[in-house]
Structure 1
Amino acid sequence: MISSLFHAIIGLKSVWGELMKKGQEKKEMVYEYLLSFTEAKGYPPSVREICSALDIKSTSSVHSYLNQLESDGKIERDPTKPRALMIPELINKSIEMVPIPMVGKITAGEPVLAVENVEDYFQMPLKFVKHDNDLFILRVEGESMIEAGIHNGDFAIIEKASSAKNGDIVVAMIGSDATIKRYFKEKNHVRLQPENSSMAPIIVMECEILGKLVGLYRKY
């Protein structure tokens, strides 16, 4: 009987050891995914994105791994902000950032990057800026471009430009208002086409192009 009990205890230890080993491996996989995702996109993944990418069934399991990584000193988190997660290993790589001006209201007749138009600066990893052309950011207002994946509250990253090709998504001035639409130069007019099937195009004889869409940033 004692021998059977001894073997049962040994068996339990073996099973427990395997579970611990698998848990450690999964934790390392979560950490590696955090590193690769954050380095590629500039922000950390959500808990559900981690679940989906690593085939983890329960969000509570991911929270457990994140708690362990925090205890290990591999990540730092702000409990008041779901995605406020810092990875010291990435910071130590000294990712070079460049400031991109965030423009508020655009006034007709003024340079788009006039000091009075710039509300703030958005820091973006240098590797995401593929050229030296001037960039600025506009906050999207309205639902006119939702079928192009551009939603109210998104931050549109715009490359300054005074001309565009048909089909480009541009920032254009119409009178005293700036708008983001798809650009088409037609026979004797310009068509600024919304990407929303419930909205009609804007037809104008001419318009001033301020820039072209080159990227999009969305806060969750």
Structure 2
Amino acid sequence: MGRHKKQPDANHMTPKQQAVFDYIKQCVIERNYPPSVRDICAAVGLKSTSSVFTYINDLETMGLIKKDPAHPRALMITTSEFHAEPSESIVPDREVAQVPLIGTVAAGIPLLAEENVTDYYPIPVDMLPNQKVFMLTVKGESMINCGILNGDKVIVEQQSTCHNGEIVVALVDDSATVKRFYKENGHIRLQPENDNMDPIIVPDCQVLGKVIGLIRMGVK
């Protein structure tokens, strides 16, 4: 007979389970939201994101954290030490979604396919319109006039249609680009927000989503 897998036990956590839980707890205390999967990998010395998800599932089985079925990447600490008094500044029960950061986009491959995702970023759920969102790192200076800079990570609501003038992520020649969208007579104009750059004129393109926000790291 095969060996039965031992069920996770909160009273007998493995060192790695404890390390993952302690790091999540530390981030919630210090930042009011949990870390990204890549952050956990780096902090506890794991090499793959799949290992992190295994430990997260273990912690949920133990009853130490909770995931919302409607927002599968949202994590909340459930232990009693996190039920703070109203006067305290910790807000641990705020739902946070782990939004996927897309590294590459290719025609014919589902946008959120595992091979496209390079990281996950924690974003409060109440700041998102729904769970169909992703992030993309901006490359270049084509949108500087509207405040989107090189290296910014735009938050994108996944949708296939948009209105003229909206800032979208569009797939052109197997490459994702962030531009203002205009459907005109017989063609699509993808307009940069940079006076030194020309628009992209194409017969048609695939709209991947509408930009709804951005994250900028390392502001001085």
Structure 2 partner of 1:126: 125
Q: TM-score when scaled to structure 2?
A: 0.58
Deviations 1:125-166 (A, max 9, x none): 12212x324000001110000001000010100010111100
Give the percent of matched residue pairs that are identical in Structure 1 and Structure 2. 47
On the 8 A contact 1:162/1:210 being kept in 2, the answer is yes
1:182 counterpart = 2:204: no
- 2:165 and 2:94 map into 1 onto residues whose CA distance is 34
- 1:92 and 1:176 map into 2 onto residues whose CA distance is 42
Give the Å deviation of 1:192.
0.2
SS of equivalent residue, structure 1 residue 132: coil
Structure 2 partner of 1:45: none
Structure 2 partner of 1:102: 101
- The number of residues matched between the two structures is 134
- 2:88 and 2:144 map into 1 onto residues whose CA distance is 37
Unaligned runs of 5+ in 1: 1-37, 40-87
Structure with more of its chain in helix, by fraction: 1
On the 8 A contact 1:169/1:182 being kept in 2, the answer is yes
- 2:198 and 2:163 map into 1 onto residues whose CA distance is 21
SS of equivalent residue, structure 1 residue 111: coil
Unaligned runs of 5+ in 2: 1-30, 33-86
Larger radius of gyration: 1
SS of equivalent residue, structure 2 residue 151: coil
Structure 1 partner of 2:59: none
1:169 counterpart = 2:167: yes
Q: How does 1:135-174 map to 2 (within 5 A)?
A: 135-174=133-172
Structure 2 partner of 1:195: 193
SS of equivalent residue, structure 2 residue 89: helix
Give the Å deviation of 1:111.
1.2
Structure 2 partner of 1:205: 203
**Structure 2: which amino acid aligns with 1:187?**
N
